Amino acid sequence: VVKEVLPPALDSTSEPPPLFDGTTRLYISYTCPYAQRVWITRNCKGLQEKIKLVPIDLQNRPDWYKEKVYPANKVPSLEHNNEVKGESLNLMKYIDSHFEGPSLFPDDPAKREFSEELFSYTDTFNKTVRSSVQGDGNEASTAFDYFETALSKFNDGPFLLGQFSLADIAYAPFIERYLPFLLEVKKYDITAGRPKLATWIEEMNKNEAFNQTRRDPKELVETYKKRFA
């Protein structure tokens, strides 16, 4: 895997890149888990040269991003073929199907069907974990139990569909954050009693394409503490 030199984030003082000049650009924030999904997908496909990374400072966004690139003013977005598209799950699928590189979506109909269920559960998964952080209960356990059970469905590998796929990428940025955060704030170890989840995390941490997108766990914990304070 190419070790990429990451460009500095663009803020309100930064000039825009030469937009719609034929370059494919992925607009992200280095700290946003939704953008990270698409960034991981790009790296897994080996598209570091084909899709240019344009990081945005979300605390101090450049006006041109909303005005000229993506009116929703969110990340991620993808500038490709003179169009800009958004929404992380859609962009993951788009990059997988429109660019060269190893396919990250299985041909097996049963696996494809289950992956759609996994994609649609991601919002519930995140809401459940977040509400448990803000309350006294431990609703988070339902979300991680769902994940542990999902890892038992196909036995031909340690990932959600057996082999590594977009389904794993959809969850990886969130689990990367919840693992250290819940341990520190709630003294809750998400891997306790969940051997498949523990193995999944180990396997994900061997993935160089994912590792290049990861942040320092201390930084992630501090960010989440501020958000949930």
What would the DSSP string read from start to end of 6-30?
A: PPPPB-TTSPPP-TTSS-EEEEE-T
What confidence score (pLDDT) does residue 197 get? 99
Residues 32, 54 share a domain: yes
Residues 223, 113 share a domain: yes
- Domain-located, residue 190: yes
Give me the number of domains the chain comprises: 2
Residues 121, 69 share a domain: no
pTM, 2 dp: 0.96
Residues 74, 155 share a domain: no
Give the Cα separation of 127 and 148 in Å (integer): 18
Per-residue pLDDT of the chain (229 residues; tens, 9 = 90+): 667 899 999 999 999 999 999 999 999 999 999 999 999 999 999 999 999 999 999 999 999 999 999 999 999 999 999 999 999 999 999 999 999 999 999 999 999 999 999 999 999 999 999 998 887 667 899 999 999 999 999 999 999 999 999 999 999 999 999 999 999 999 999 999 999 999 999 999 999 999 999 999 999 999 999 888 6
The residue out of 98, 124, 153 marking a domain boundary is 98
Query: Phi and psi (nearest 5°) for 166?
Result: -60, -30
Do you know the residue count of the chain? Answer: 229
Asked if residue 26 lies in contact with residue 38, where contact means CB atoms within 8 angstroms, the answer is: yes
What confidence score (pLDDT) does residue 138 get? 76
Residues 134, 93 share a domain: no
Domain that holds residue 39: 24-98
What confidence score (pLDDT) does residue 1 get? 61
Residues 209, 155 share a domain: yes
Q: Cα dist. 189→156, 182, 186, 205, 216 in Å?
A: 26, 7, 9, 17, 18
- Domain-located, residue 187: yes
The residue out of 64, 98, 132 marking a domain boundary is 98
Residues 194, 145 share a domain: yes
- Domain-located, residue 103: no
Residues 190, 136 share a domain: yes
What confidence score (pLDDT) does residue 2 get? 64
